[in-house]
Copies of this chain bind each other. A is one copy, B any other.
Amino acid sequence: MAVATVDAEKQAALAELGQQLRVDAIRAADAAGSGHPTSSMSAADLMAVLLGNHLRYDFTATQNPGNDHLIFSKGHASPLLYAMFAAAGAIADDELLTFRRAGSRLEGHPTPQLPWVDVATGSLGQGLPIGVGLALAGRDLDQLGYRVWVLCGDSELAEGSMWEAFEHAGHARLDNLVAIVDVNRLGQRGPTRHGWDTAAYARRIAAFGWHTIEIDGHDVGEIDRAYTEALGSDRPTAILARTRKGKGVAAVEDKEGAHGKPLPDADEAIRELGGRRAIRVEVNAPDGNAAPPRPDTASLRIPAYEQGSEVATRTAFGEALEALGGVRSDVVALDGEVSDSTRLGYFARSHPERFFQCYIAEQQLVAAAVGMQVRGWVPYVSTFAAFLSRAYDFLRMAAISGASLRVVGSHAGVSIGEDGPSQMGLEDLAFFRALWRSAVLYPCDANQTAHLTAAIADRSGISYLRTTRGDTPVLYGPEETFPIGGSKVLRSSPGDRLTIVAAGITVPEALAAADRLAADGIAARVIDAYSVKPIDAATLHEAAADTGRVLTVEDHWPQGGLGDAVLDAFTQATSMPRVAKLGVLALPGSASPQEQLQHAGIDASAVVDGARALLSE
């Protein structure tokens, strides 16, 4: 749908709206005593024209599937966003002035506490990659006509993640995506690399297959024509808008040292901008088309594995997800170009229309999933556990967004064998545990893995599933259940003298150790703590009360993983057992999987030694 070019009268009205957005951004920051008004003022005209003439959004029905999506990738321009919400009548002026106060929804950087905000931003370089995910959802999953508008800063174009987004969107020809770049030439501490050289940005972005338009970002006519042109393009469009930071107020306009501060004299600034206005914008309504019906889900037959056989948990994950995709049409899968190894490829072969190849770009991989879950899709993201560290800031922000993601990291720990430390996830339990409201699951066998793969589909927040490369024995029957937050007691007797807590690859080692200890007359309880977070504190407390001594063993550095989770569980207990931890002690090199476990000090022999040492104290 082409939008007619605005006439002079409408242009004047939009310019006035831009001034109102500036004034209100200044007022909000002034009331707060902090914030980023100058970064808001540069983009005010861009947003005035968008809000007043191109955005299609029903502020009274945020769940309308036809609504456009607007993401402030430069989240620090939140005063501008909130001023837009005020102009649209979504928030009252009183609330605008609660900006940055304790208890206010109007946080320093936008979060989905506000119903019109899809995702939290404020860590730069994330809004555009998330917008790519929304645009993919709109075109390929929802198949709706909504558009995704992303307001970007020029500084954040230095982030590699932006170029992952340009590459993905350009190659996928996402014509429903528009990046609006506010080229105000000033970063936080001084000038950007390219200043007002919008051609430098346009050259780079065009090389990635985008349509680019360079404009004066304070000329509402040019802005309007650019949006119209963007909507008519068969490719994603980047609008490079030359703007002036602090535009309209001489004391701060295009001045260094004015970043992230209220204006020195807000009253004077408001006068300079022509005073307060009371413009109320009638935002265009979205198209009436509804989301395609998602068929009812059939009941899942979780793949079953024969007890006593040997199956890699990565394989069970792949097969379970493929089955899940067959009964739930809202499940989607995203790969970081390793689907042959992670076994995400099984989903791809059965459900290619819901499989997204993100290539080796882990930030875009996670961001695309964040974007898709905004629209209610149920994404599973998978790559090697080690490489998820590449996307940690995106996972951190996804947690702040309250996003529901299922993240599956394969090739965990030293047990991968010969490939060496660069490919070994040895920090993943720690960094996923430290995410707000995360679950961390580390199954030891195929049936457990299949159950947990299905269980996380309906969990909100970030659910991490850690899988193992090599085949491991199937310990549980297919009918067993594995609640998140639970554990399994695999060996138990009244005479247990210590408890061994293991997860994943170390469970079979712990069982072998328990057998050897039993042969020497030492009874050991063995707990499979497949749910590392939340951990099954009750079972651990009982075991500690019974045995008084706890030995943890994990294929991970000793910091932040299973051992720390077990110790933490005892901070809630009425008494502390003696605890000893086994984890990877030295930097691994290349070796066979079993040699690796031995060198790391986490194989059955190490568990036996650790148990004896703990008992001798």
Contact = CB atoms under 8 A, between A and B. Distances in A.
Interface stretch (A200-208, A277-285, A289-297, A481-489): A200-208
A173 to B, nearest CB: 12
A612 interface: no
A580 interface: yes
B361 A160 contact: yes
Interface in A558-576: 558-561, 563-565, 567-568, 570-571, 574-576
A193 B171 contact: yes
A400 B427 contact: no
A617 B158 contact: no
Copies of this chain present: 2
B360 A124 contact: yes
A22 interface: no
A91 interface: no
Nearest to A164: B160
A41 to B, nearest CB: 19
A250 B158 CA distance: 43
A186 to B, nearest CB: 11
A421 B113 CA distance: 12
Contact of A155 (B34, B189, B360, B431): B360
A322 to B, nearest CB: 16
A341 to B, nearest CB: 7
A473 interface: no
Contacts of A272: none
A407 to B, nearest CB: 14
A94 interface: no
A589 B592 CA distance: 48
Contacts of A595: 102
Contacts of A104: 589-590
B155 A111 contact: no
A591 interface: yes
B193 A167 contact: yes
A406 interface: no
Interface in A146-163: 155-156, 158-163
Determine the interface band of chain A, counting residues with CB < 8 A from chain B. Answer: 35 or more
Given A427-B431, A431-B431, A337 B560 contact: no
B430 A158 contact: no
A159 B158 contact: no
A328 interface: no
A113 B208 contact: no
Interface in A384-404: 386-387, 389-390, 392-393, 396-397, 400
Max chain B CB contacts within 10 Å: which of A160, A188, A592?
A160
A338 interface: yes
A419 interface: yes
A238 to B, nearest CB: 13
A103 B592 CA distance: 11
Interface in A583-617: 587, 589-592, 595, 599, 617
A413 interface: no
A561 to B, nearest CB: 8
Given A389-B396, A418-B108, A568-B564, A434 B557 contact: yes
Contact of A109 (B102, B125, B396, B423): B423
Given A34-B418, A433-B560, A559-B434, A590 B386 contact: no
A422 B359 contact: no
Max chain B CB contacts within 10 Å: which of A75, A390, A592?
A390
A104 B589 CA distance: 8
A112 to B, nearest CB: 11
A232 interface: no
A160 B363 contact: yes
B32 A361 contact: no
Nearest to A364: B160
Contacts of A35: 418
A340 interface: yes
Interface string A4-48: 000000000000000000000000000010110000000000000
Given A387-B393, A557-B436, A560-B559, A158 B589 contact: no
Contacts of A539: none
Contact of A102 (B431, B560, B591): B591
17 contacts: A34-B418, A34-B419, A99-B590, A109-B422, A111-B421, A120-B422, A155-B337, A158-B167, A159-B362, A160-B161, A189-B337, A189-B345, A203-B207, A427-B431, A430-B434, A570-B576, A570-B579
